Amino acid sequence: MHFSSAHEASRLQLNAQGQLRHFLTTEGLSRAQLTEILDTAEGFIDPVSGAIVNRPLLAGRTVMNLFFEASTRTRTTFEVAAKRLSADVLNIDISKSSTSKGETLRDMLWNLEAMTADIFVVRHGDSGAAHFIAGQVTPQVAVINAGDGRHAHPTQAMLDMLTIRRHAGAFENLVVAIIGDIRHSRVARSEIHALQTLGAKEIRVIGPRTLLPKGFELMGVQLCENMETGLRDVDVAIALRIQNERMDSALLPGAEEFYSLYGLTRDKLKHAKPDVFVMHPGPINRGVEIESEVADGAQSLILKQVNYGIAVRMAVLTLAMQGQLAVRG
């Protein structure tokens, strides 16, 4: 399963009025559409305390988390977001479902739809899986991509965009660096599309040549193999998680050497702007991608990202449900 066409993604994601009906990728969405997600998320954050507020906008609706790939953090934040919207939430244990006993994915979806599901939150190891499911469900069901293969992780990208906008300011003035395994990262892809659409001044990706994807230069992204060059005068530095299986492959020499060359440390951050903000999608491998003093330091926004993630997922669930109701007429 693979969908590479931004036009195809847009066709699936939007209803006839241009409203979000599924959220599958940041690619192909307009600046106004991405900004609507950010603005809606802001509405769920108390302006004084910064706490996430409850709104019963999905009362009587059912959100089903279909996680074919494990991710406690993402699943939990979607569950918290749905419950704060007063939705009923079901976590489907795919490993114990009948798909592992021979039932097809289509059969499983039809059975879940018959249980009056309104929204499927889908995490899958195959690129394009969320698009495939969005193409199979009835018009009454919205599909939210919670990460698919190496393709996209749009809600992670948008919570990072909200974090950047709230703390670093207007995108047009910002130089943003993404560090680590760019080649295999669905987070990096979704962030690059979002940053470009929102008008970031400059986007740099930093990592060893084996983990820098070919063709990214054509997207207007600057590829850097050297941390000093890549971090020079950046406003925001985003360290990506290195998967353990990459450390055991020929793509990387080892955790210690990666940390020496590409770990985000206080010394390396001296090349960035003095007020640089540090981010990481989590979970963190301390001493591999990032130094503990940096992860826990005053310029770190990592815990803010987790908090804003609830607001962004509340926004996406709300907007997708509104888009589905418009389809139903």
- Structural domain total, the chain: 2
Domain-located, residue 38: yes
Say yes or no: 34 and 114 in one domain: yes
Question: Does position 3 have pLDDT exceeding 80, yes or no?
Answer: no
Domain-located, residue 1: no
pTM of the entire predicted model? 0.92
Say yes or no: 138 and 173 in one domain: no
Reading the block at residue 75, the tokens are 């699943």
**pLDDT tens column, 167-201:** 999 999 999 999 999 988 999 999 999 999 999 99
Say yes or no: 128 and 246 in one domain: no
Say yes or no: 299 and 158 in one domain: yes
In this prediction, residues 244-254 reach a mean pLDDT of 59
Say yes or no: 183 and 98 in one domain: no
State how far the alpha carbon of 47 is from the alpha carbons of 50, 120, 164, 329, in Å: 6, 30, 17, 34
CA-closest candidate to residue 277, choices 262, 292, 298, 263: 298
Say yes or no: 144 and 88 in one domain: yes
**pLDDT tens column, 285-321:** 999 999 999 999 999 999 999 999 999 999 999 999 9
Cα separation of 240 and 246, whole Å? 13
Say yes or no: 141 and 131 in one domain: yes
Cα separation of 245 and 20, whole Å? 36
Q: 37 CB contacts (<8 Å, ≥6 apart)?
A: 20, 158, 312, 315, 316, 319
Q: Are 305 and 282 in contact (CB under 8 A)?
A: yes
Say yes or no: 281 and 317 in one domain: no
b/e per residue 30-62 (b: at least 16 CB within 10 A)? eeebbebbbebbbebbeeeeeebeeeebbeebb
Reading the block at residue 206, the tokens are 């930093």
Say yes or no: 190 and 252 in one domain: yes
State how far the alpha carbon of 37 is from the alpha carbons of 40, 84, 163, 236, 320, in Å: 5, 17, 13, 21, 10
Say yes or no: 230 and 275 in one domain: yes
Domain hosting residue 33, numbered range: 6-152+307-328
pLDDT classification of 2: cutoffs 50, 70, 90: very low
Say yes or no: 159 and 237 in one domain: yes
Q: Which residue has the higher pLDDT, 131 or 7?
A: 131
pLDDT at 210: 86
pLDDT classification of 150: cutoffs 50, 70, 90: confident
Domain-located, residue 231: yes
CATH number where 54 lies: 3.40.50.1370
Reading the block at residue 29, the tokens are 């969405």
Give DSSP secondary structure letters for 115-157.
TT--EEEEEESSTTHHHHHHHHS-TT-EEEEEEETTTB-HHHH
Q: Which residue has the higher pLDDT, 168 or 258?
A: 168
